């Protein structure tokens, strides 16, 4: 078995394990919410407000949480790379 095949197999196993855990956890939370609906709603809203206050709410599927962050354009990235590399254009030039 190659390293790549082993990594894929490990990732698949981990994904299955995580999916099964989430299914069971979500069912348990649903049952608790049905048993204690008022407490569940109260805790849910507290946690939602905390996430919003701490800036941990996802804005899109990429996991971005900051509205002010915009990915650099290609020209900006090139300029940033040039500044990082310095005038010599050599990476790792410690002089």
Cβ atoms of 55 and 65 within 8 Å: the answer is yes
Number of H-type helices and E-type strands within the chain: 3, 0
Residue with tokens 């900051």: 66
pLDDT score of 19 more than 90: yes
pLDDT score of 43 more than 80: yes
Percentage of the chain lying above the pLDDT 70 cut? 69
Cβ atoms of 59 and 65 within 8 Å: the answer is yes
pLDDT score of 55 more than 90: no
Closest CA to 29 of 72, 37, 70: 37
pLDDT score of 92 more than 60: no
């Amino acid at each position: 078995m190659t390293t790549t095949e082993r990594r894929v197999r490990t990732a698949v196993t981990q994904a299955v394990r995580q999916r099964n855990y989430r299914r069971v956890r979500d069912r348990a939370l649903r049952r608790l919410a049905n048993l204690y609906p008022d407490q569940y709603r109260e805790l849910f809203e507290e946690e939602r407000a905390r996430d919003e206050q701490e800036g941990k709410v996802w804005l899109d599927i990429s996991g971005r949480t900051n509205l002010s962050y915009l990915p650099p354009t290609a020209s900006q990235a090139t300029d940033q790379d040039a500044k990082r590399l310095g005038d010599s254009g050599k990476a790792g030039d410690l002089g």
